[in-house]
Chains A and B, each alone.
Chain A
Amino acid sequence: MPRRGVFTFLPRLQQSEGDPMTMPAIASLPARKRRRRSSGWLGLAYIAPAIALVTVFFVLPVLFTLWMSLHRWPLLGAPRWIGLGNYLRMFDDARFLAALGFTTHYTVVVTIAIFAIAFPLAFFVEKQRPLVSIYRTVIFLPVVVGLASASLLWVWLANVDSGLLSPVLQMLGLTERRLNLLATFDTAFLTVIVMVVWKIAGFTMIILLTGLQAIPTELTEAARIDGARPWQRFRHLTLPLMRRTLALALILSITGSILAFDQFYIMTSGGPQNRMISVVYYIFNQSFVSFNLGYGAALSIALLVILVLISVVQLWLLKVGGERP
């Protein structure tokens, strides 16, 4: 089976330690060592621009955020060292815990919805059929729209007076009078979910499609000859062989959902009675509405830790990079 997934680099690195190809023979040690050392420097030179970029735009900002998170850091006035005060405050902060709860709820719902739509779509566009490239393009199109623009578009669609959805629902006789979709939590949440699925499902579909296409047809044929029914083939052949692709799609989807901000900020301003405040939204509010930059920084670090933990757990659950075939 192909081992070219994104997550194969870890075991590869470990393997190379004992790889006979790189084990130097005793006799030619000095020459090889020199070459290895110079090629090491050369390699470093090659990746230096990348290291510089990552350092300047990721490592340093994270370190600075960490430093800020240990202070009471107002936008105006002098920062004051308070040690772990910001981190302790988090645990009693009902609004932060509520944001965490809502983000979890949203992530679970939207991830299930995206996969429920994207998987059938991937099967649909995988088979060679007439116009399949047009289908692929059409389904993928919303992905290239920016999330903020898509949110604005849907704000208009969902507008009760000048939009599209409410009048259509009324015309079809589904609602007695025009329903303000964004006014109550359930309908507003549903609108956001539908928007995000419309926007993201095409991307997940493309990822799943690459996984499906990497499965050799001989295997499917062999299974069919052995008498496996479609569901059995899916369950025992397709799914296991797509493990790496699924892991990639899941991690991208879950990480993206946990970092959700634009759709709530633009479509509902935090939702009817603040019930749609995601964690990132709360961090934004703390930092730039309440001007508590230190607390915002601490919340960001906490979110970073949560994201890393979730990704590690997912990789472990899906056993990506493990010894199983």
Chain B
Amino acid sequence: MLRKLLFATALVSVLGSGAASAETINMWVRSGIGDSFKEVVKAYNAAREDKVELTEVPFSELVQKYATAIAGGQAPDALSLDLIYTPAFAAAGQLEDMTDWAKSLTYFKSLSPSHVKLGTYEERIYGLPLLVETSIFAWNKGLYKQAGLDPEKAPTTWEEITANAEKIRALGDNTYGFYFSGGGCGGCAIFTFTPLVWGAGADILSEDGKTATLDTPQMRKAIDIYRNLVAKDTVPAGAASDNGVNFLSITNGKIGQQSLGAFAIGTLVTKHPEIDFGVALIPGVDGKPSSFAGGDNFVVTKGTPKLSAVKKFIEYTYSMEGQEIMAKYGSLPTRGDIADDVLKGLDPRLNVAKDAIAVAKTPYTLQFNDLINSANGPWATFINAAIFGNDVDGAFENAQSEMQSIIDAAQ
């Protein structure tokens, strides 16, 4: 499979180099990236002499495949990399330093700050924003109406959300007030749950990423809020063992409220038009909202001969034209300065997700997989143990010490 793939890309690059001055860039994207980027590439290939050859790689195997391709000298010119992996790849010395060029872009300062921060390693820039995704809070207006709540009023505190959840749960057997994937889905929890503590000024890692700071009053409060939602039976029993497969439970129409990603707005609008929903920022434990900025970074393989062609393509995706195509297919604008123009005429709820960029955070760590994303990592275990278990103190203690030991082992 891999060899076939490499052979195909090699063949394409041979053919590409034969044709006059036009160049073909080989680029890998992870599966599940959605249509927005593919549409940009389609438009670019149709309008320009240079071509971009996309290869889709299963998202769970991207890191292994890229590493083996580098070892075999067959790496693609560029890669769309889940932004949390950028520091690890940059630290391994496999990416092209783009600092000077990036800073020469007139709109550099308005590029999604979280992406640029994650793309920066030891003061040099290796990754630039490609896809932007933020977490938001959504509620089902139909269920709000049935429960006698004002469907147009977004809840702004967790007390309000909890009260609403109870009223919606009172509607009957299979209708629930709240949902989250609480069974070993670290990625889901970092995306939808940490905004509760970020909004209140706390974080799970120190600024330099070298100390675990899990046990804070804010985190205790956030855990209490979720425990209370579970104790009051407003969350379906399946949440305790959902490893992320049912993350989009709100689409079944029986969930009153849920924290989601911006991509879910696209899914709900296009695939579940029967669900009328509202969107707001996720409140922190003290009411101040926050969000998780995720998505993909553009990275370039060190030493690629097609650097200038790659740069031209990146500039195209940052142009008004490129940004508009991406937004149309559900990805938020990466440039803050033209975001309002880009989103004009699209679903207004995308604006909430766009505004979230300004308050959004992303933890910076080289051990993101180990600490957060792994189903067996300390963070995923902590979420399950602290929210569904009987020993909250023990859960805090274990997770704090295991996170610290993973960080220390990697230094």
Question: Does B45 sit within 8 A of A, measured CB to CB?
Answer: no
Question: Does B240 sit within 8 A of A, measured CB to CB?
Answer: yes
A76: chain B residues at CB < 8 Å are: 67, 70, 88-89, 92, 94
Question: Does A75 sit within 8 A of B, measured CB to CB?
Answer: yes
A272–B241 touching, CB < 8 Å = yes
B237: chain A residues at CB < 8 Å are: 160-161, 177-180, 183
Cα-based distance from A74 to B94 in the complex (angstroms): 13
B381–A273 touching, CB < 8 Å = yes
B369–A180 touching, CB < 8 Å = no
B95 to A: closest C-beta gap in Å: 10
A272–B70 touching, CB < 8 Å = no
User: Among A75, A273, A281, A285, which residue has the most Cβ atoms of chain B within 10 A?
Assistant: A273
Contacts A288-B64, A289-B370 hold; do A77 and B93 have CB atoms under 8 A apart? yes
Question: Does B209 sit within 8 A of A, measured CB to CB?
Answer: no
B236–A274 touching, CB < 8 Å = no
B residues 54-94 in Cβ contact with A at 8 Å: 63-64, 67, 70, 88-89, 92-94
A residues 283-309 in Cβ contact with B at 8 Å: 285, 288-291
Closest to B378 in A: A274
Chain A residues touching B, majority SS:
loop
A75 to B: closest C-beta gap in Å: 5
Partner of A75, one of B67, B184, B374, B375: B67
Cα-based distance from A270 to B184 in the complex (angstroms): 8
B residues 238-273 in Cβ contact with A at 8 Å: 238, 240-241, 243
Cα-based distance from A273 to B391 in the complex (angstroms): 12
B residues 4-59 in Cβ contact with A at 8 Å: none
Question: Does A182 sit within 8 A of B, measured CB to CB?
Answer: yes
Question: Does B385 sit within 8 A of A, measured CB to CB?
Answer: yes
A77: chain B residues at CB < 8 Å are: 92-93
Partner of B376, one of A75, A159, A277: A277
Cα-based distance from A160 to B238 in the complex (angstroms): 6
Cα-based distance from A277 to B236 in the complex (angstroms): 26
B residues 96-114 in Cβ contact with A at 8 Å: none
Cα-based distance from A77 to B369 in the complex (angstroms): 17
B238 to A: closest C-beta gap in Å: 5
Cα-based distance from A2 to B374 in the complex (angstroms): 53
Partner of A269, one of B93, B238, B376, B389: B376
A174 to B: closest C-beta gap in Å: 16
B89: chain A residues at CB < 8 Å are: 76
Question: Does A103 sit within 8 A of B, measured CB to CB?
Answer: no
Cα-based distance from A160 to B176 in the complex (angstroms): 14
Sorting the interface of chain B by its residue count into under 10, 10 to 19, 20 to 34 or 35 or more gives: 20 to 34
Closest to A181 in B: B241
* Cross-chain pairs A/B with CB under 8 angstroms, 14 sampled: A76-B70, A76-B88, A161-B238, A177-B237, A179-B237, A182-B241, A269-B243, A269-B375, A272-B388, A273-B381, A281-B376, A288-B64, A290-B374, A291-B63
B88: chain A residues at CB < 8 Å are: 76
B381: chain A residues at CB < 8 Å are: 273-274
A residues 254-278 in Cβ contact with B at 8 Å: 268-270, 272-274, 277
Cα-based distance from A308 to B68 in the complex (angstroms): 32
A285–B238 touching, CB < 8 Å = no
Contacts A160-B237, A178-B237 hold; do A272 and B92 have CB atoms under 8 A apart? no
Contacts A77-B93, A285-B374, A288-B64 hold; do A273 and B389 have CB atoms under 8 A apart? yes
Cα-based distance from A201 to B237 in the complex (angstroms): 32
Chain B residues touching A, majority SS:
helix
B388 to A: closest C-beta gap in Å: 7
Cα-based distance from A277 to B183 in the complex (angstroms): 15
What 0/1 pattern do residues 52 to 89 of A give for CB contact below 8 A with B?
00000000000000000000001111000000000000
Partner of B384, one of A161, A188, A272, A285: A272
B374–A159 touching, CB < 8 Å = no
B179 to A: closest C-beta gap in Å: 11
Contacts A77-B93, A273-B381 hold; do A180 and B240 have CB atoms under 8 A apart? yes
B238: chain A residues at CB < 8 Å are: 159-161, 180
A75: chain B residues at CB < 8 Å are: 63-64, 67
B85 to A: closest C-beta gap in Å: 10
B375: chain A residues at CB < 8 Å are: 269-270
Closest to A159 in B: B238
Partner of B385, one of A159, A270, A273: A273
A183–B370 touching, CB < 8 Å = no
Question: Which 3 residue pairs across A and B have the least CB separation, nearest first?
Answer: A76-B92, A183-B240, A182-B241
Closest to B382 in A: A273
Cα-based distance from A274 to B376 in the complex (angstroms): 6
B384–A273 touching, CB < 8 Å = yes
A298 to B: closest C-beta gap in Å: 15
A171 to B: closest C-beta gap in Å: 14
Closest to A286 in B: B370
Closest to B374 in A: A289
A269–B183 touching, CB < 8 Å = yes
A285–B240 touching, CB < 8 Å = no
Partner of A183, one of B67, B369, B388: B388
A292 to B: closest C-beta gap in Å: 10
Cα-based distance from A291 to B240 in the complex (angstroms): 28
Cα-based distance from A290 to B402 in the complex (angstroms): 14
A270: chain B residues at CB < 8 Å are: 184, 375-376
B388: chain A residues at CB < 8 Å are: 183, 272
B residues 166-189 in Cβ contact with A at 8 Å: 183-184
A269: chain B residues at CB < 8 Å are: 183-184, 243, 375-376
